[in-house]
Chain A
Amino acid sequence: MLRKGITESFGAAIQALNAIHLTDGVITRSKRMMLDTLGVGLLGSRTAVFSKALKYSQVFTSEQRSSVWGRSDVILPPHYAAFVNGIAVHSMDFDDTWHPATHPSGAVLPALLALAETLPSQPSGLDLLLAFNVGIEVQGRLMRFSKEAYNIPERFHPPSVVGVMGSAAASAKLLGLSPAQCSHALAIAASSAGAPLANAATQTKPLHIGNAARRGLEAAQLAQIGVEGNPAILDMDSGLGVYYKDYSPSPLADSDSGAFRWILDAQDVAFKRIPAHLAMHWVVEAVLAARAKFLDRTGNFDLSQIQNITLRVPRSKYINCPLPTTEHQARHSFQFNACSALLDNKVTVASFSQAQINRPALRELLSKVQLETPEDNLPSFDRMYCEVEIKSAEGLSSLARCNTFYGHWRKPLSQKDLEEKFSLNASTVLCTEGVEGVIDVVGNMEKVTECSVLGSYLRMTSTSEQLYSMRIM
């Protein structure tokens, strides 16, 4: 028998994977990802970049209508709902991160919810979970086709490469496409992949996730009406291989052979506690520890005593930003996150407001930061660490190190903390009934008969949201 092509094996698996293949571990983990994604998406629907994208998207109309999370009054064509909700999810860089590094959920969940609303018969919660996991799994598999991808990237922003493929796979699953159509969906999506890293730390980075969601959904629908691409897109260096320098693809195990294992079972995701690039979390924890030690020694905390701050972090140019001027740069600055933590004893959503960024005390501290990139500190979320050393003018010194921050996959957020993060994020937009409803629906997702119930809670906005939306109009 001929060996199956790699793309073919993906097409077959996407079609064949079934709810019975979902393990308890995968169900639990993916429900946590959904809840977190909805929370950061709701919060993100208050950002400037979201407003710009929404206004642009409202130019389009369609018969099929999908909702915008946290907006009771806005309806968009499904592609544009996926687009703006995806942007909301990544607008603050607050969404989940996997290993090898990508933000997996933001490309998938907005596409699925937008698509689900348009389907003639409503998918069940279990259908949604299955399609979601297919989208996550495909991203994880593709990330493993390159060793280079294990490190923090330098060329393409990973969610723009694997995200659109994940969205296409998930959408193809929810649409019930045939194995061949699933392969073509991946091929069409590959032509929509790849955005350069230079747009990280700008307003355009959130668009990468929005576009991944939108164009993956589009690829699945184009495949559904019969558009074809290269059926060996994953097999070839001139296919998905163009995005990597060391591309080495392998087939996906047959889901009925017993050899199939979900990557999510073996590799959990990291949930962020601050709306910033994941690497910032090591820095913030290390600084808070060093700050406490410093305080122990000196009794009271006086910034003027600090002579210099040394950060020992991995070498990664796009998150080394000595003096950020915009919120997007601040979310990608080791220096900024270290100084905010030192100054305020915490880093929160509010830390990234323009007023906070411009504080003279913070600028003063920033001028005292030195960055070191030790050889043994690798730019990989699985292996990096952060060491912080604070020195005072009198020669006092305080050293702290973070190997694994709370929220990292080795030290996962408790369910209570995850729900608290969600509530805090969601309640900026939804009323209490909406917030609790979402927690309840997601928590029982595998038992929900129609996943549309989730959409109804996502539209239960608080009055302040309505006032807010009126103000920005």
Chain B
Amino acid sequence: MTRVEKPHSDVMQDCKRNLPFLLLCHKSISILHCSAAASKRNKKQDHCDRNLKSCSPRYRKPSDQCGLPEDCITLQWRLNNFYLFIPAVQKHPAPEDTVTASFGKFISEIKPQHLSPVVLHRSKRMVLDSIGVGLIGSRTDVFELALQFCQHMYAPDHISSVYGRRGIRLSPTLAAFVNGVATHSMDFDDTWHPATHPSGAVLPALFALSDMMPANSKPSGLDFLLAFNVGIEIQGRLMRFSNEARSIPKRFHPPTVVGPMGSAAACSRLLSLDPSQCSHALAIAASLAGAPMANAATQSKPLHIGNASRLGLEAALLASRGLEASPLVLDAVAGVAGFSAFYEDYVPQPLESPDDGGHVFLLEEQDMAFKRFPAHLGMHWVTDAAAAVHELLVGHGLGQVSPHQVQDILLRVPQSKYINRPFPESEHEARHSFQFNACSALLDGEVTVQSFSPPAMSRPELHFLLSRVRMEHPEDNPANFNRMYGEVQVTLVGGDILKGRCDTFYGHWRNPLTNESLRKKFRSNAEVVLPSEKVERLVEVVEELDRLDDCGALLSQLQ
């Protein structure tokens, strides 16, 4: 299976055509006072800048995150001094060289021309996929409960739209919440490396916030994409502050840690907050971050993404009202934990200023994994391996798999307690069960949305297979999405042994979904909820998002 995507030649051509775009450059904090006129005044200049820079994607070796870089030691030393000599700092009130300040500055000062064609292309794929899984997610029980809750507890507020529900509008933070819940309700949304689900925390918040802005001064498509990329980038940067974070997590569910920060960053960008307000927004969001892993595989897990989206938006809105928080929240200060509270091995690094030319978006170097079926990412390896065995079994026998041929099923997968569930009882548990996904694929040759329905889950032949499963956790199979593999070994009653192995499933960042496959996934998700004209329109609108003068064209297609 080598369906590797072609180089992004189409994107490069787009770039050469000198994309027209609009910039949201109002400096006002208050979203009710966005000035469309000001946007247009600055348009020409930014356009020129863009012509100079946009066609030269810069590549850079990934920096070594394992050791403690020298400049980082210097920084910590400086921080200690800063603490000891506060009088000196008071004369210079803004300690510009803190990690926290560098993040605030980045969020505030990044511009559309800093987005390379590769980043634009990849982020548009994320937007499309996220909308699709959000739309199909708006038909789940947990989404229904979240929506009921918001409608029951709050009066109708005709502001922000809800995925797939025409006629329902909610207050912006509540819309961000329910749409975030929809996005993660089936565990169908994108996964990055180090492991988190980045889009679900950001996109619903940006939709909700854009809905809040007056009709005549909506952000342009490019501004929207910039804010989205800021939200993704901040999550990626924060994930790299800890080596621990490179492995499948054990304590905090990553989207609850970096998700609110990404949402706060993206919303701050869309609100054009100043550098200090952006860093306060991050610090306020840090106080709303962090949820235990134990709630994975329950209805509360989708709530994690909904809350990340909602609370990040809230943090940005509070910061825009002048609320202040720790100016050192991202820095490592011994004895007073900031964001480091969530990690055992926290080593923060400042973010390069976008204007120095030294910044490259992480998305440029590290692409996204898109799921082909709604389950934890780890399930995709074991499912592809089991599907290969299914093919062999079908060839071996009567054209369909008979469970009673099967003596023993051995899964060689990484050790990770929360996705090791021998007999899952709910759909949420099934989405987090190596055993369930392997057996479904053995039986059916694939895992689909339907595999998690109560009738599919309760099949006796499936339970028979589940009772045959053993697990092994080989030393060379680490709980890490960049290095793990899945191996399925089936011993038949007659003693024959069939093996399947998957090192890189189709959809993984090393073997990305083709645009065609991605759109196919989108269409099948979106069509559950929307009429096909709207589905096609969404595909088009997202494709041309960076050229849209007004992101309202996208907002109007979601329900």
Contact = CB atoms under 8 A, between A and B. Distances in A.
Interface of A: 49, 52-53, 55-56, 59-64, 77-79, 154-157, 160, 187-188, 190-204, 207-208, 211, 221-222, 225-230, 232-233, 236-243, 316-318, 321-323, 325
A226 to B, nearest CB: 6
A198 B322 contact: no
B84 to A, nearest CB: 9
B324 A233 contact: no
B96 interface: no
Interface string B262-276: 000000000000000
Interface string B125-149: 0000000000000000010011011
B336 A191 contact: no
Given A207-B323, A228-B298, 10 more contacts: A60-B157, A77-B155, A197-B341, A199-B325, A200-B336, A203-B325, A204-B326, A229-B299, A237-B251, A322-B87
A231 B328 CA distance: 36
Contacts of A240: 292
A52 B318 contact: yes
Given A227-B300, A323-B87, A191 B337 contact: no
B303 A188 contact: yes
Contact of B153 (A78, A193, A317, A323): A78
Contact of A204 (B155, B283, B299): B283
Contact of A199 (B314, B326, B333, B340): B326
B336 A187 contact: no
Contacts of B329: 196, 198-199
Contacts of A62: 153-155
B154 A204 contact: no
29 contacts: A52-B323, A61-B155, A62-B155, A78-B153, A187-B300, A191-B307, A194-B290, A194-B341, A195-B288, A196-B329, A198-B283, A198-B333, A202-B283, A203-B323, A207-B323, A222-B145, A222-B149, A225-B152, A227-B303, A230-B298, A230-B300, A233-B292, A233-B295, A236-B292, A238-B292, A239-B292, A242-B292, A318-B336, A321-B86
Contacts of B340: 196
Interface string B196-222: 000000000000000000000000000
Given A78-B153, A238-B418, A242-B292, A198 B328 contact: yes
B153 A197 contact: no
Nearest to B302: A227
Interface of B: 86-87, 90, 142, 145-146, 148-149, 152-155, 157, 171, 250-253, 256, 283-284, 286-295, 297-300, 303-304, 307, 314, 317-318, 321-326, 328-329, 333-342, 417-418
B88 to A, nearest CB: 10
A241 B300 CA distance: 17
Nearest to A196: B341
Given A204-B326, A229-B295, A236-B294, A191 B304 contact: yes
A211 B288 contact: yes
A203 B291 CA distance: 23
Contacts of B337: 154-156, 196-198
A236 B317 CA distance: 35
B335 A318 contact: yes
B292 A64 contact: no
A202 to B, nearest CB: 5
Contacts of B335: 154, 316-318
Given A62-B155, A64-B153, A227-B300, A154 B251 contact: no
Contact of A230 (B250, B295, B334, B417): B295
Given A55-B321, A190-B292, A221-B153, A196 B298 contact: no
Given A238-B292, A318-B336, A77 B153 contact: yes
B250 A238 contact: yes
Nearest to B344: A245
B286 A225 contact: no
A192 to B, nearest CB: 7
A222 B300 CA distance: 10
A449 B338 CA distance: 46
A439 B470 CA distance: 66
B86 A323 contact: yes
Nearest to B426: A228
A108 B250 CA distance: 30
A12 to B, nearest CB: 19
Nearest to A65: B155
A53 B284 CA distance: 12
B334 A317 contact: yes
Contacts of B322: 52
Nearest to B141: A226
A159 B204 CA distance: 29
Ranked nearest first, the 4 interchain pairs of A and B with the lowest CB-CB distance are A198-B338, A317-B335, A191-B291, A195-B287
B300 A188 contact: yes
A56 B315 CA distance: 11
B149 to A, nearest CB: 6
A305 B351 CA distance: 50
A191 B300 contact: yes
A426 B148 CA distance: 38
B49 to A, nearest CB: 36
B171 A59 contact: yes
A187 B299 CA distance: 11
Contacts of A233: 292, 294-295
Nearest to B157: A61
Select the residue from B283, B324, B418 with max chain A CB neighbours within 10 A.
B324
Given A198-B283, A225-B145, A190 B294 contact: yes
